[in-house]
Structure 1
Amino acid sequence: MKRISSSAPCASRGALAVAVAALALAGCANYSGISSDKQLTAPESLESTQSLPAQGGQWPSFDWATQFGDPQLPQLIDEALAGSPSIAQAQARIGKASSYIESSRSSLYPKVTGQYSWTRELYSANALFPPPYGGTWYSENNALVSATWELDLWGKNRARLNMAVSQEKSAEADMQQARVTLAASVARTYNQLALLYALRDVAQREIANRDNVGRITNGRVTAGLDTNVERRTAEGNIATSQSNLTELDGQITTVRYQLGALLGKGPDRGLQIAKPVVNPQIVISLPDNVPADLVSRRPDIVAARWQVEAATQNVKEAKAEFFPDINLAAAFGFDAFGWSKFLTASSRQIQAGPAIHLPIFDAGYLRSQLKGRYADFDLDIANYNQTLINALNDVATQVAAIRSLDRQMGDAERALDAATHAYDLAVIRYKAGLSPQLQVLSADENRLANEQTVTNLKMRRRDLQIGLIKALGGGFDATGTNFAIDGSGQTQAANAAPAK
């Protein structure tokens, strides 16, 4: 009877058995019981209709600084954005994140390498190789081209790539947040400079008023109606006002230096800034749907959301580690002694075959790694939720402060009007000899305090307006851009992970 060889079918069955065994053995290391129940907070779940009523207003645009009517302000902001080291740092972080994308993407494709070696060797006559090889010099040529490809059946490398993309988006949103923060800082510092100049104008007017009172006092002393006590008091008040003016000049110089630093320049740049132009207050109405739309208008919220997405992909990658890695490898080349037969068919060397990595027993390493990834995921979820809460609180706080200040402004202006009339009457009566100097000084102090209060309130309102613009995103809008992301408020970590 003729015997039929069954080696080929046996080999096929053996390969299949190895594959089945590999999948079965992979079950020895599993992630059962490791999960997260954390969820993104939905904006509409945070009650804010009373604090943030819909007013039909517009969201800030990128050129919001122009509405303050001072052409120097938007120019300073543009200069700061162009030369700030903080923006350069943010751009460098984006570049670093982009490099991670390129390295992660490369793992999805086959890799091909080539190598060549030439060895000149004298073989021992008393060792492994007998004559004529032993005791003779020989050259060995070896050339090999190799190719490897990780199949990524479980999506580990794709998850790593998606994580890198999410981190780049987060870095880009962080840069936008840095731009918004810097623009607002320049505007608020510039507003502080405007306030100091306004207070300086008040101080100059006060010096003029006290000079006038001093002249009246000198006339009354000459007429014998006042004494040197009143004269010295008037002179002391003038000196005090001049001292206040000098102090304001010092503060103005300091703020100029601060502006120079914000522009990314030296302190001398701040000295070149012209006196700010104080214009009437602008009115900012809240747009509709603030909570829902704020998630795409605030760069810090967008950055936090992309961090959650990166953490989601990080979890997917860690789960894929529990499954076998399958790599295909192949190589072709030539290996021969000497040169005569180096590139001939008989010198060929060919290698091909799969390689399987099995996570059978790792003493809990993969499970601990996955727990760490879920902890990072929970942390990023909590950070997003806190960022959203802080953003709504920021807007509500600015709005409440503006409302309160508007009520104060009316009272303060009425108080200033009354104090000014009282001062004018006191000066008239003092000049006519109907009241003492003390009454004039008291009325003057009251009028000065009220004028300073009104000036501070006006500039404080401008500062709050800038703060509200910043709280509303400073003109940023992720809608319809590459920053956009699903804002449903539901985490996709569990669904995106490999099936158990």
Structure 2
Amino acid sequence: MKLPYSSAPVFAASTITMKRSALAAAVFVLAGCANYAGISSDKQITAPQNDALQATQSVPSQGGQWPSLDWAKQFGDPQLPQLIDEALAGNPSIAQAQARIAKASSYIESSRAGLFPKVNGSYSWSRELYSANGLYPPPYGGSWYSENNALVSASWDLDLWGKNRSRLNQAVSQQKAAEADMQQARVTLAASVAQTYNQLALLYALRDVAQREIANRSDVGRITNGRVSAGLDTNVEIRTAEGNIATSQTNLSELDGQITTTRYQLGALLGQGPDRGLKIANPVLNSKIEVALPDNVPADLIARRPDIVAARWQVEAATSDVKEAKAEFFPDINLSVAAGFDAFGWGRFFTSSSRQFNAGPAIHLPIFDAGALRAQLKGRYADFDLDVANYNQTLINALNDVATQIASIRSVDQQTSDATRALDASSHAYQLAVIRYKAGLSPQLQVLTADQNRLSNEQTVTNLRMRRRDLQIGLIKALGGGFDAADTNLAIDGQTSKTASVAAKTAD
């Protein structure tokens, strides 16, 4: 039956609509063949307020201040801040961290380029002798011809599912993590310089103790000589006194060797040769500085410790990786267009008849890949779970680090108090023993015993005082060493600082 003329366009339009609908349905059905159903993660980062991280007793609020970037000035030795600045400027570890940041920045630029259209131009020229017995008949066959081809092409990935944007976000997060790692390297290096410098101060303090001991034992030796002349002692006591002096001089020589070695270590930390360490003046650090923790340490520590900030940005990067992997399950649509000229010879190269043009979309649709995309997504989720676990462990270690430093400082303070009383008592006992020995009222052995007790107690007090300062430097490092994520543009804003599991599920 012949349809009326007026019904033909309606029928044709309906047919086209039905074909398009069928095509769209087919696309979605086929796309459903590759899917990520059943692949997810329930891992989440631990909040500082979590009951599992309670630290009010171990890390009490004391109204103190967070360390500032110039924390080394509080030790009263102007050389220490200068050495730290020199190390931060010249140590290769900082240069390595900066190189990693530069590499991460290049990934950002590369990922950002994927969001914009690409335009390319090409030109080719070829000279060819066509066979007289081949495809092309005379006059082409059996003759030489030149072919010119010029083409300008453009393409644009529409990124309908956010794959390229997720890749860019991942690169940005990786750069932020690299920057936080560099800040951690700076904090670690500064603390290492300060602690090695404090070790040098300890060795010089022990050297002073050793020199005083040599003087004391020399005095006892002179008393012994006088007693031998008076017939009160024998050569046994003389040789004993001489042996004690030699032992003290041996200890002094050993300390001198350790001082030289420590100076070499400082030179290396400064990024220079060992001779640089030999030029460092003797330390003159303060003996004791009061320690008070700032308030809200568990909550604020996540922005004060660069290692925690770096771990947090790694979680953000893993979240973007998951989103990118999920976008791989959806069709890619790339628009392309190309225009140019193609002709034999030069005469008609730029004429209108030599024009060439093509345009159209290119669609990539994952239908069946034997589970490759699902395996890739599972791997991204595994990386995500690992980064979440690393963050949680870093936070736990940070709190434990602060608590350990505080407990150790309090313990050292108590030990120092007890050791100081013991030193006072043993020093007084030694003085009495020397007086009695000089007066002929007690034997040399009593003096030597009192001297050994006094020496041991003096060394203990010296070690404890330097140990306290070493722990205080460790506490400064544990509190972030003056780092603040907000001041370095590394803070994660309120929208992205939610739990990692929520962030990961935004791509579902």
RMSD between aligned residues:
1.6
Matches within 5 A, 1:61-210: 61-210=68-217
SS in structure 1 of the partner of residue 153 of structure 2: strand
User: Is 2:291 the counterpart of 1:284?
Assistant: yes
Instruction: For residue 17 of structure 1, report the CA deviation from its aligned partner.
Output: 4.1
Q: For 1:150 and 1:464, how far apart are their aligned partners in 2?
A: 56
Asked if structure 1 preserves the Cα contact closer than 8 Å seen for 2:188 and 2:477, the reply is yes
SS in structure 2 of the partner of residue 339 of structure 1: coil
SS in structure 2 of the partner of residue 332 of structure 1: strand
Aligned amino acid, residue 206 of structure 2: L
Match of 1:219 in 2: 226
User: Is 2:463 the counterpart of 1:456?
Assistant: yes
Q: For 1:280 and 1:409, how far apart are their aligned partners in 2?
A: 12
Matches within 5 A, 1:365-384: 365-384=372-391
SS in structure 2 of the partner of residue 232 of structure 1: helix
Instruction: For residue 133 of structure 1, report the CA deviation from its aligned partner.
Output: 1.6
For 1:134-167, what per-residue CA distance to the aligned partner results, in whole angstroms no more than 9, with x for missing partners?
1122221111111111100000000000000000
Relative distance call for 1:12 and 1:353 in structure 2 (3 A) is farther
Q: For 2:414 and 2:131, how far apart are their aligned partners in 1?
A: 103
Asked if structure 1 preserves the Cα contact closer than 8 Å seen for 2:70 and 2:81, the reply is yes
User: Is 2:506 the counterpart of 1:496?
Assistant: yes
Relative distance call for 1:250 and 1:52 in structure 2 (3 A) is same
Match of 2:63 in 1: 56
Match of 2:39 in 1: 34
Aligned amino acid, residue 45 of structure 2: L
Asked if structure 1 preserves the Cα contact closer than 8 Å seen for 2:41 and 2:501, the reply is no
Match of 2:442 in 1: 435
Instruction: For residue 130 of structure 1, report the CA deviation from its aligned partner.
Output: 1.3
Match of 1:254 in 2: 261
Aligned amino acid, residue 344 of structure 1: T
SS in structure 2 of the partner of residue 467 of structure 1: helix
Asked if structure 2 preserves the Cα contact closer than 8 Å seen for 1:23 and 1:324, the reply is no
Gap runs ≥5 in structure 2: none
Match of 1:319 in 2: 326
Asked if structure 1 preserves the Cα contact closer than 8 Å seen for 2:43 and 2:500, the reply is no
Gap runs ≥5 in structure 1: none
User: Is 2:415 the counterpart of 1:402?
Assistant: no
Q: For 2:502 and 2:309, how far apart are their aligned partners in 1?
A: 16
Instruction: For residue 490 of structure 1, report the CA deviation from its aligned partner.
Output: 4.3
Asked if structure 1 preserves the Cα contact closer than 8 Å seen for 2:311 and 2:390, the reply is yes
Relative distance call for 1:319 and 1:383 in structure 2 (3 A) is same
Q: For 2:20 and 2:136, how far apart are their aligned partners in 1?
A: 38
Q: For 2:184 and 2:49, how far apart are their aligned partners in 1?
A: 23
Matches within 5 A, 1:239-250: 239-250=246-257
Aligned amino acid, residue 22 of structure 1: V
Q: For 2:358 and 2:170, how far apart are their aligned partners in 1?
A: 35
User: Is 2:29 the counterpart of 1:24?
Assistant: yes
Asked if structure 2 preserves the Cα contact closer than 8 Å seen for 1:315 and 1:493, the reply is no
SS in structure 2 of the partner of residue 140 of structure 1: strand
Matches within 5 A, 1:450-489: 450-479=457-486, 481-485=488-492, 486-489=496-499
SS in structure 1 of the partner of residue 149 of structure 2: strand
Asked if structure 1 preserves the Cα contact closer than 8 Å seen for 2:158 and 2:334, the reply is yes
For 1:299-334, what per-residue CA distance to the aligned partner results, in whole angstroms no more than 9, with x for missing partners?
000000000000000000000000000110111111
Asked if structure 1 preserves the Cα contact closer than 8 Å seen for 2:388 and 2:500, the reply is no
Instruction: For residue 11 of structure 1, report the CA deviation from its aligned partner.
Output: 6.1
Q: Percent identity?
A: 79
Between 392-401 and 114-123, the greater mean CA deviation after superposition:
114-123
Asked if structure 2 preserves the Cα contact closer than 8 Å seen for 1:36 and 1:378, the reply is yes
Relative distance call for 1:482 and 1:496 in structure 2 (3 A) is farther
Q: For 1:456 and 1:362, how far apart are their aligned partners in 2?
A: 67
Match of 1:341 in 2: 348
Q: For 1:206 and 1:178, how far apart are their aligned partners in 2?
A: 41
SS in structure 1 of the partner of residue 49 of structure 2: helix
Q: How many residues are matched?
A: 498
Instruction: For residue 22 of structure 1, report the CA deviation from its aligned partner.
Output: 1.9
Instruction: For residue 8 of structure 1, report the CA deviation from its aligned partner.
Output: 8.4
Q: For 2:32 and 2:409, how far apart are their aligned partners in 1?
A: 62
Q: For 1:335 and 1:8, how far apart are their aligned partners in 2?
A: 38
Aligned amino acid, residue 114 of structure 2: S
Q: For 1:168 and 1:496, how far apart are their aligned partners in 2?
A: 22
Match of 2:271 in 1: 264
Aligned amino acid, residue 273 of structure 2: G
